[in-house]
Amino acid sequence: MNLNASDFGTIHIEVCSKCNLACVHCYRTINEYESKNKYIEIDLFKKIIDEIDCIKSKKVLQMHGIGEPTMHPSFFELLDYANKSKKFSCIFITTNLLAAAPERYELFFENGLTFINVSVDSLSLNTINKTRKGTDPEKMLVNIERITQNFHNRIQITSVVGFDNFKELDNLAKLFIDLKIKTWVIQPLIDWESFDGSKIRNNLNVLNSIKKLKEKYKDNINILTELAGKDEQQHNKCKMPFDILHINVQGFVMPCCMYWDHNQINFGNVADKSIYAAWNSEDFSKFRSRFYEEQPNICLNCEAY
């Protein structure tokens, strides 16, 4: 596989590691670490954008990590700078839709944000208290309804599926269809206390529920699954270290979107070197060269590998 820096088509920048929720299984909730509860420095963000080479083609920009990106006090300034650079074919975020008013999102759309990916696992308070603590389901639903009135083609939903909520998926499907949501991404729950998603992805009740859901609503909503029915022999599929440049809130280059704590692993900091020097560093190149020969320890039990 070609390891040239010019190969990455997406740049994933963690702009904010603060969050208004406390998701039970989230790495951020469970652990204390150096890059937690921080905002990316504006000058660092601009340096990263300035260094991006898009001569061959424009890039995709993801402006989120472990945290709620709209909590950055200068989020609009960051978005505006990225948009005006004309280097991106798509700019998007993952959000819980609770930290900013709906009109703020509408303003984001008008100033360069291509779409938002909204995290919705359940609308039941009982389930929410077991999964995404702090979620106000009524407020979230009102905000989704408000945005979909004028921007239904700019919003997609992501649901993390585990034992606590898989039985609610059918009701969620009906709701999303009523709201004219076009795309719904379903992901496996990974419990960061054990970093083990195998129990979820191999549970027949969960898997069968997802498969039946896709078939039942295939003509009504595009359901994308990163979970159900993967052939156990299909390994070596993850391309994140090859295709996406991940940078955490403090400027450290990370291997993928699962890790944002640079004390676990990192490949240098773009605050003191160029993004391409970090991307093509000896350490990162070695990591990629052995990636498919032997599963790295940090990738054990990861559904994406």
User: Which of 128-142, 171-185, 218-232, 266-280 comes out lowest in average pLDDT?
Assistant: 218-232
Please write the tens of the pLDDT for every residue from 130-144. 899 999 999 999 999
Rounded mean pLDDT of 145-155?
93
Alpha-carbon span 193 to 291, nearest angstrom: 24
pLDDT tens by residue, 186-215? 987 776 655 554 555 556 777 788 889 999
Greater model confidence, 200 or 293: 293
- The torsion defined by the Cα of 38, 193, 278 and 292, in degrees rounded to 10, comes to -160
DSSP state of 139: H
3-class DSSP assignment, residue 191: strand
Element containing residue 200 per DSSP (H, E): helix 198-201
Strand duo 22-23 + 10-13: pairing: unpaired
Q: Using one digit for the tens of pLDDT, what is the confidence trace for 31-60?
A: 999 999 999 999 999 999 999 998 788 999
DSSP strand pairing (22-23 vs 59-62): unpaired
Mean pLDDT of the chain, nearest integer: 89
End-to-end Cα, the chain, rounded Å: 16
SS3 content of the chain, % helix, strand, coil (to 5): 35, 20, 45
The pLDDT assigned to 5 comes to 40
Predicted TM-score (pTM) of this structure? 0.91
The answer, yes or no, to whether residue 225 has pLDDT greater than 70, is yes
How far is C-alpha 178 from the geometric centre of its chain's CA atoms? 25
DSSP letter at 123 equals: S
Between 84-98, 116-130, 284-298, the lowest mean confidence (pLDDT) is in: 284-298
Averaged pLDDT, 93-110 = 96
